[in-house]
Amino acid sequence: MTAAASPIPTAPAAVAPVLEGRDLTKYFSVKTSRGILARRVKLHAVEGVSVSLTPGAVTAVVGESGSGKTTVARLLAKIITPDSGEVLLDGEPVPRGRPRAFARQVQMVFQDPFASLNPVHRVRYHLARPIRIHHISQDVDAAVDDVLRRVSLDPPSQYVDKFPHELSGGQRQRVAIARALAVQARVLLADEPISMLDVSIRLGVLNLLADLRDRERLAILYVTHDIASARYLADTIVVMYAGQVVERAPSVRLTDEPAHPYTQLLLSAAPDPDRSEPPSLAGSGAPPSLLDPPSGCRFHPRCPHVMEICRQQEPPSVDVSPRHTAACWLHVEPAQRRVSAVSAASGAEPGTPTAPGSSPTSPSQED
């Protein structure tokens, strides 16, 4: 008699994204000077960026000022319209504009909680109004109390009749988050939510976001210039430079083994209590103008590893390990780099280069 075969363990099914941006590109038309004769030029804000957000996970978008990270959040929120690419909710393209059902499910939390709350209205007004508009509950007062408790403003009676100026910065940001929860949001797009708060209360807001991810299975986009806080909070980190994604990986992996020289630069500049020496900023310098971005790899004027091909050809996004991609020629086989350089010089379409033992990755395949 043979023993019954035990079931073969299977990998957990991948969680379907709730909100996706595919191949998003956005240009802004800006004036080069003042006056009616001023010329208009194209600012390359975001090019070919794909991001997906899954329930119960935080995705951080990290980069310096002007890297395009806030534009990505606004594109995902449909506050601005992409020039190309699309936004999908539950796998379905979202119609033009910002439909009310979409606006309810996808909420933004802004950098400055004081500016995002009306100073002449009490907390009750800020929370009751969206509950009424979206017909969330018949018992509006109970719903307001409930949502205040969910952001740890407890007891609610202590906060509900206060004006924004009577709250601390951290409490104001909690009210802003409560306003998003009040309409039963499934996605939070948090744009630098702690950068204007005192250092002492930043951790509390990060822990609240982590709690909402775990307890309420929210899908959260965390936009920040601070890679250390991204590592603390996020499950996945997407690094942007000059409007493009340069690296993406699970957060611990990315911060322990950064593959792109720009990520290495960001990490070398991050505060580290264990470091006795000042940080060595390999590749320091300023980000490029997005009115006329550098040719090839946009990081090449700052990169300590720059090669000739970097100045000529945009690097492909390459798998450097499972779920870890980097757009850098360093991770492409030298022989394939030469083929690409020759192809570019002759004007032929180059083959897609790959890293040793890896496969090429298009932006839409990532995540």
Q: Which residues bind ligand SF4 (CB under 6 A)?
A: 260-261, 297, 299-300, 303, 305-307, 310, 315, 328-330
116: amino acid identity, one letter: S
Rounded to the nearest whole angstrom, what is the least distance from the CB of residue 303 to ligand SF4 in the complex?
3
In this structure, what are the phi and psi dihedrals at residue 83, rounded to the nearest 5 degrees? -75, -30
Rounded to the nearest whole angstrom, what is the least distance from the CB of residue 210 to ligand SF4 in the complex?
32
Ramachandran class of 155: left when φ > 0, alpha when ψ lies in -120 to 50, beta otherwise: beta
Rounded to the nearest whole angstrom, what is the least distance from the CB of residue 247 to ligand SF4 in the complex?
10
Residue 159 or 241 having the CB closest to ligand SF4: 241
Residue 170 or 261 having the CB closest to ligand SF4: 261
Handedness of CA 354, 359, 362, 366 (dihedral sign): negative
Rounded to the nearest whole angstrom, what is the least distance from the CB of residue 30 to ligand SF4 in the complex?
26
Residue 122 or 305 having the CB closest to ligand SF4: 305
Residue 181 or 266 having the CB closest to ligand SF4: 266
Kindly state the helix (H) or strand (E) to which residue 19 belongs, with its residue range. Answer: strand 19-31
Strands of 40-53's sheet, edge to edge? 40-53, 19-31, 84-89, 92-93
Contacts 24+ apart (CB under 8 A), 294-300: 294/242, 297/327, 297/328, 297/329, 298/241, 298/242, 298/243, 298/244, 299/241, 299/242, 299/246, 299/260, 299/261, 299/262
Rounded to the nearest whole angstrom, what is the least distance from the CB of residue 275 to ligand SF4 in the complex?
23
User: How far is Cα 172 from Cα 317, in angstroms, rounded to an integer?
Assistant: 40
Residue 212 or 330 having the CB closest to ligand SF4: 330
Closest CA to 207 of 196, 224, 193: 193
Rounded to the nearest whole angstrom, what is the least distance from the CB of residue 340 to ligand SF4 in the complex?
11
Residue 168 or 362 having the CB closest to ligand SF4: 362
